[in-house]
């Protein structure tokens, strides 16, 4: 708890002075969760930088569009960091056509969660080294969480028939005959 | 020497779940690895937003088979945090018992598979036979061999009376002699050591850089266990040692799991000794207000984190979780660099990967 508060309070002073709200909650076992909301999404990299220097570990990233967020058209992205057992959640708001900085340069393991939020919500990343699809097939559009997609289409290996039709179509296109 | 790309998977790489590896080789040596995921993406994170908070206990238990209990357990903890629900003490002990039984069965499964992957199938059969003691136990106490259905909001759905406690204690006692035998075998058997020592090495610095968790990280000397670092239920009152080893190879990862099985046996025995009398659930579930919470637990494969956001309705506004395997895949790129083609399946198996968990 003390470690978390010291690191976070000190870091935020430089990274996002007067542009954040923070709240600490400690449970009966003495485990603390801290909740920080940044007013400016572009402060994210500076905040992530002091956390990386303070030996935080990125646990995961949650992107979401709540009912309220849907009305305003914003996405909320919550970055969950582990600091020796305590958890700090840093949230930013991103407008629908806005971009958010990739933190992969500071946290190697941000790679997969960032690609996942890009394919599920259509969030655009700035500075991701290889922003390809992670789980969702290329043939599906962006932001699948906002669409209705049948299960068989959603999974890559849809059905045997569908897979072979793709293979045959590809083979014909190359003039190699049918397999 | 020219390099080739060989496809490994998506089926039957160490286990019956699909993951596709594009492996770059020079002769027999691996020089690069590209992982392609997405074969079992089921969109469960979307589905949980369409179901109410009770239905999601059932759904989250079906994310994974080997760590099935960790999901509803952590999800309930997140809900209880938002609802300000204090669970009875007896519930906290019963939750530990259920989770540790699952850990024993999960770890022994991987320890057995590792023996199979090095071609030591008699050992595989023996370990699976011992694991069967825990499978029987689950079936007897919970009525199921995989999904326990043990958790509910503010309580559990099973109880241990005097007879149940005696049965569980006897089952644990039956495991001790075989577990010691396995420890000796895995520590000294020449052919096992030759295939696993110094193979698939993950240095500590890489484990930290890539944010790896669980037995994979602990086998590389990262002293992190959620049960110790961020205690939940009654883990702060139980006596157990967090296992770490320094070498970060396939052998170390196997030994960490084998040692943790013994710790889990110790933990359950303490629970049976200390569990107080009392209710197994709160009387009535209060309305869950709008709020957000984090709940973490040490699943068999490492840190499992749940993030729940509610808006006062009976459906979660957002429910997100990250399973330990999700982080651990990246470790393979370090472990496989310079390894032999013949060791690929063994190294993949050594991170005890769970694909249905990873892709959800």
Shortest Cα distance from A15 to chain B (angstroms)?
22
Candidate from B226, B294, B311 with C-beta closest to A80? B294
Q: What percent of chain B has pLDDT over 90?
A: 66
- Name the binding residues of B for Fe cation: 67, 357
Task: Pick the more confident residue, B253 or A154.
Answer: B253
| Whether A67 and B43 lie within 8 Å, measured CB to CB | no
Q: Which domain holds residue B73?
A: 3-359
Q: Is the pLDDT of residue A157 over 60?
A: no
**Chain A contact probe: residue of B43, B49, B238 with most A CBs at under 10 A:** B43
Q: Is the pLDDT of residue A1 over 70?
A: no
**What three-state secondary structure class fits A121?**
helix
Query: Dihedral through CA B211, CA B214, CA B217, CA B220, nearest 10?
Result: 170
Chain B residue at shortest CA distance from A87: B294
Say how far residue B271 (Cα) sits from the centre of its chain. 20
- Name the binding residues of B for Ni(2+): 64, 67, 354
Given the candidates 3.40.50.2300, 3.20.20.100, 3.30.460.80, 3.90.226.10, the CATH classification of the domain at A2-147 is 3.30.460.80
Cα–Cα distance measured from residue A175 to residue A154, given in angstroms and rounded to the nearest whole number:
29
Q: Write down the pLDDT at residue A177.
A: 47
Task: Pick the more confident residue, B4 or A73.
Answer: B4
| Whether A154 and B307 lie within 8 Å, measured CB to CB | no
Whole-angstrom CA distances from A23 to A43, A50, A87, B296 are 18, 18, 12, 19
Q: Write down the pLDDT at residue A61.
A: 92
Q: What is the pLDDT of residues B57-113, one digit of tens each?
A: 999 999 888 889 999 999 999 999 998 899 999 999 999 999 999 999 999 999 999
Task: Kindly state whether A72 is in contact with chain B, defined as any CB-CB distance less than 8 angstroms.
Answer: no
Q: How does strand A57-64 pair with strand A75-83?
A: antiparallel
SS (H, E, C) A3-14: HHHHHHHHHHHH
Candidate from A58, A84, A145 with C-beta closest to B229? A84
Chain A residue at shortest CA distance from B237: A29
CATH classification at residue B269: 1.10.645.10
Q: What is the pLDDT of residues B27-67, one digit of tens each?
A: 888 888 888 887 778 788 888 888 888 899 999 999 888 88
Shortest Cα distance from B9 to chain A (angstroms)?
13
Kindly indicate the confidence band of residue B6, based on its pLDDT and cuts at 50, 70 and 90. confident
∠ CA B255-B257-B261 to the nearest 5 degrees? 115
The domain locations on chain A are: 2-147, 149-179
Cα–Cα distance measured from residue B215 to residue B327, given in angstroms and rounded to the nearest whole number:
12
Q: Write down the pLDDT at residue B171.
A: 95
Number of structural domains (chain B) is 1
Candidate from B10, B42, B305 with C-beta closest to A60? B305
Task: Kindly state whether A113 is in contact with chain B, defined as any CB-CB distance less than 8 angstroms.
Answer: yes
Q: What is the pLDDT of residues B280-312, one digit of tens each?
A: 999 888 888 999 999 999 999 999 999 999 888
């Amino acid at each position: 708890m003390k470690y978390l508060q010291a690191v976070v309070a000190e870091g935020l002073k430089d990274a996002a002075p007067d542009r954040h709200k923070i709240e600490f909650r400690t449970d009966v076992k003495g485990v603390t969760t801290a909740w920080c909301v940044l007013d400016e999404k572009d402060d994210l990299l500076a905040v992530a930088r002091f956390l990386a220097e303070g030996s935080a570990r990125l646990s995961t990233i949650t992107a979401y569009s709540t009912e309220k967020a849907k009305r305003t058209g914003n996405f909320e992205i919550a970055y969950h960091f582990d600091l020796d057992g305590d958890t700090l959640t840093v949230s930013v708001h991103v407008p629908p056509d806005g971009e958010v900085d990739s933190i992969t340069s500071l946290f190697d393991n941000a790679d997969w969660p960032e690609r996942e939020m890009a394919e599920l919500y259509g969030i655009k990343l700035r500075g991701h080294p290889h922003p390809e699809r992670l789980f969702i097939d290329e043939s599906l559009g962006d932001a699948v969480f906002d669409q209705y997609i049948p299960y068989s289409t959603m999974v890559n290996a849809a059905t045997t028939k569908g897979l072979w039709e793709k293979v045959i179509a590809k083979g014909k296109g190359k003039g190699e005959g049918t397999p | 020497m020219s390099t080739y790309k060989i496809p490994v998977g998506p089926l039957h790489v160490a286990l019956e779940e699909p993951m596709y590896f594009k492996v770059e080789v020079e002769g027999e040596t691996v020089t690069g690895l590209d992982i392609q995921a997405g074969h079992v993406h089921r969109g469960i994170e979307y589905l949980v937003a369409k179901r109410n908070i009770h239905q999601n206990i059932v759904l989250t238990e079906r994310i994974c088979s080997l760590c099935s209990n960790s999901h509803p357990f952590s999800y309930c903890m997140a809900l209880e945090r938002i609802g300000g629900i204090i669970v009875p003490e007896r519930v906290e002990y019963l939750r530990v018992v259920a989770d540790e039984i699952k850990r024993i069965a999960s770890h022994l499964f991987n320890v057995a598979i590792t023996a199979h992957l090095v071609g030591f199938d008699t050992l595989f059969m023996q370990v699976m036979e011992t694991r069967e003691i825990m499978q029987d136990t689950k079936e007897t106490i919970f009525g199921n061999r995989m999904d326990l259905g043990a958790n509910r909001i503010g309580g559990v759905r099973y109880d241990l009376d005097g007879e149940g406690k005696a049965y569980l204690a006897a089952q644990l006692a039956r495991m001790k002699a075989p577990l010691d035998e396995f420890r000796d075998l895995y520590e000294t058997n020449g052919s096992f050591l030759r295939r696993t020592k110094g193979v698939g090495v993950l240095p500590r610095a890489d484990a930290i850089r890539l944010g790896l968790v669980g037995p994979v990280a602990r086998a590389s000397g990262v002293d992190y266990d959620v049960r110790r670092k961020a205690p939940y239920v009654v883990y702060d009152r139980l006596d157990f040692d967090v296992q770490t080893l320094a070498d970060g190879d396939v052998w170390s990862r196997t030994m960490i799991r084998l040692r943790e099985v013994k710790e889990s046996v110790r933990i359950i025995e303490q629970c049976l000794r200390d569990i107080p009398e009392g209710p197994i659930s709160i009387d009535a579930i209060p309305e869950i207000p709008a709020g957000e919470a984090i709940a973490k637990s040490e699943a068999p494969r490492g840190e499992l984190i749940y993030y729940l956001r509610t808006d006062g309705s009976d459906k979660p506004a957002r429910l997100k979780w990250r399973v330990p395997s999700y982080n651990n895949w990246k470790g393979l790129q370090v472990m496989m660099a310079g390894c032999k083609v013949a060791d690929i399946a063994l190294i993949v198996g050594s991170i005890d990967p769970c694909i249905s968990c990873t892709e959800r």
